[in-house]
Structure 1
Amino acid sequence: MNRYVFFALLAAVLFGASTPLAKWLVGTQPPILLAGLLYLGSGVGLTLIRLIRDRGWQASGMAAGEWPWLLGAMFFGGMAGPVALMFGLTSTSGSTASLLLNLESVLTALIAWVVFRENADRRIVIGMTAMLAGGVVLSWPSDFNGQQDWTGAVCLALACLCWAIDNNLTRRVSASDALFIAASKGVVAGGVNTVLALSLGATLPTGFTLLVTLAVGFVGYGVSLVLFVLALRGLGTARTGAYFSIAPWMGAAIAVLVFGESTPMAFWLAAALMGLGVWLHLTESHVHEHTHLPMAHEHEHTHDEHHQHEHPFAWSGAGAHQHAHTHPFFRHTHAHFPDIHHRHEH
């Protein structure tokens, strides 16, 4: 399996498992505070890991032009998105919310295609359409008298839109240190939402609940985000979102099997439609002759067919390493994703 596919799938599993756990926590504290603490747990935990890895504080190494993209991702993905999710969970079951979050991949791909001109094959488009239909089924009123509350579904859809914008902005900086990106997003976004909640009169939960909240945030948001950024680097935005679509299945399974939530017919119809969409994504292959234009950047790499260059320093020739390097002009054909080396026109 392609390691970037593995990163995307594992990120999806961790995030998917966090949704029903967040649903369980949403009754213990206000939504804004919960959103803040989840991301704060992510940021603090990842910052400690980065300090240990680098044996102290190290500069991010990000270029000046990358900071606006990261700041935008912090706002949409770390501040607005989690708050919308927590408000949505107050009036939506954990299983339904988990499947509705599949809309994130649909919106992620649409923004990638329309705004950032990422390639879209017919198979991917059909899969996205199937998942969108599943989201509509889940959010449709249970009767025609308007008795079902739309608030939860609307808030969840808004969260998906925020994260879709976040995913596309994060892709612009995905060649940088994934641990720094995820840690800084957690500290800044989580800190802002936590301070905002406390200023509005919220109080911190008790010790055990606080520890559980921070732990869920660290694993479900922090570790998951690091893996997601790595997947963006190798797969591109739309396809990373496609693989990430298995997250709702993990969340829905936990909500049903662990928390014993009921599953109406609409749930299973939506599950079938979304399952079809995920299958179409996972079985997609993209092959054609393409041209690599000259470019210079820095990221961790091995000397594969895209990295054949000299080194101004001693290197054994084995294993992955990181340094600034230049890619020459060349043309070839192979199966590929729109990763950081394949952002070309079609």
Structure 2
Amino acid sequence: MPVRLNAALTALLAAALFGATTPVAKLLLGTLSPFMLAGLFYLGSGVGLGLAILVRRTVRSGQAQEHDAQIHQSEIPWLAGAIAAGGVAGPALLMLGLGSTPAATGSLLLNLEGVFTAVIAWVVFRENVDLQIFLGMVAIVAGGVLLSWTGGTVGFPIGALLIAGACACWAIDNNLTRKVSTNDAMVIACLKGLVAGPVNLVIAHWLGASMPAAGHVAAAMATGFAGYGVSLVLFVVALRNLGSARTGAYFSVAPLFGVVLSLALWPAMPPPLFWCAAALMAIGIWLHLRERHEHPHTHEPLQHTHKHRHDEHHQHEHDFEWDGAEPHTHPHRHVPITHTHAHFPDIHHRHSHSHSH
């Protein structure tokens, strides 16, 4: 239970930080163009995490640095694809779509990210799903729909299709990032920010925007560091422990945190739909937390690098002098093993389910 709660809380904290950026963006959007704001958010994320990485490396011992995780050459295409889809194509499609789409419709359509993430995880990457997890996902998405519903007719003009395309890009990003989630989450998030930030700023300048005053730049970059940077680090850690579909479901709760912060900034009595949405999301989270997926399964030989303890999945010798400190990071090999225990589709349990359990 502690592992499950820790993983779920990590994903929910990522959602809270990301959701909180929406009302802050609303405060800043009066002075900044959407692409400029997105660029500064991403740039703040990349620069802030880059500085954090430098600080971390200076305080670590030489022994720890020697065994830091390095992104393997074979994983670079996955990471590049994630950055291109989620950091470049996604924001571009969203901003283009919002230009011709009512805000209410846009908010509703953003709920598609969680759905697309789960569908890709289940259909393409074969993550396991049972009825309880599916119903939990439905409840969370339904809560998101209610949260952003303002009545009226939801049409599907070209703008709406562009927003749906943005959600599909972020879903692809989530699933591709899962493929590199064993690596240093801070490095992954930093690289995304350092690439996506300048790209969005170039688009902003191409569309005629000019760099805002230093105070607005600092505010936007600080917000991006917390809401995009730290949030993404937590998201990658959650992907490592929960898989794409479940992490995406928890992350779909982000709008709820945004509404709560909005109510704190602009006090008002929440409408009845808010309470209905909160209840549905709570039910969805509860269904996910009570999941127990257990069956005999075989671990194939595997070699990778990530922070770990010497638990039942990590019984290996060290080819370097080890002081017994845990958790620690170094390249290690998993030998084949067959056993039975409750598990998630994490980095050690991405096996197929060819029969019912």
Instruction: Extract unaligned runs of 5+ from structure 2.
Output: 60-64
One of 163, 177, 191 as aligned partner of 2:170: 163
Instruction: Extract unaligned runs of 5+ from structure 1.
Output: none
| SS of aligned partner of 1:296 | strand
C-alpha contact 1:243 1:282 (8 A) present in aligned 2: no
Offset at residue 102 of structure 1 (A): 4.2
Could you report, residue by residue, the CA deviation over 1:148-203 in whole angstroms, capped at 9, with x for unpaired residues? Answer: 89788666544432221111010001111111110010011111110221132111
One of 113, 117, 141 as aligned partner of 2:122: 113
Aligned to 1:336: 343
Aligned to 1:130: 139
C-alpha contact 1:179 1:226 (8 A) present in aligned 2: yes
Aligned to 1:34: 37
TM-score by length of 1: 0.88
C-alpha contact 1:100 1:138 (8 A) present in aligned 2: no
Confirm or deny that 1:242 pairs with 2:254.
Answer: no
Confirm or deny that 1:284 pairs with 2:291.
Answer: yes
Aligned to 1:178: 185
C-alpha contact 1:102 1:131 (8 A) present in aligned 2: no
- Give the total of aligned pairs: 342
Aligned to 1:142: 151
One of 103, 109, 117 as aligned partner of 2:112: 103
| SS of aligned partner of 2:128 | coil
Percent identical across equivalent pairs? 57
C-alpha contact 2:253 2:281 (8 A) present in aligned 1: no
Offset at residue 292 of structure 1 (A): 0.9
Aligned to 1:92: 103
Q: Comparing 3-12 with 330-339, which one deviates more in the overlay?
A: 3-12
Could you report, residue by residue, the CA deviation over 1:215-242 in whole angstroms, capped at 9, with x for unpaired residues? Answer: 1100000011011111111111111122
Structure-2 change in CA distance of 1:289 and 1:185 (3 Å): same
User: Residue 113 of structure 1 aligns to which amino acid in structure 2?
Assistant: W
Offset at residue 290 of structure 1 (A): 1.2
TM-score by length of 2: 0.85
Structure-2 change in CA distance of 1:228 and 1:33 (3 Å): same
Aligned to 2:62: none
Could you report, residue by residue, the CA deviation over 1:291-314 in whole angstroms, capped at 9, with x for unpaired residues? Answer: 111111111111001001111122
Confirm or deny that 1:255 pairs with 2:278.
Answer: no
Q: Comparing 323-332 with 57-66, which one deviates more in the overlay?
A: 57-66
Q: Comparing 124-133 with 311-320, which one deviates more in the overlay?
A: 124-133
- Rounded to whole Å, the distance in 2 between the matches of 1:151 and 1:306 is 49
User: Residue 210 of structure 1 aligns to which amino acid in structure 2?
Assistant: V
- Rounded to whole Å, the distance in 2 between the matches of 1:264 and 1:30 is 30
Structure-2 change in CA distance of 1:288 and 1:69 (3 Å): same
Structure-2 change in CA distance of 1:150 and 1:270 (3 Å): farther
Aligned to 2:212: 205
Aligned to 2:327: 320
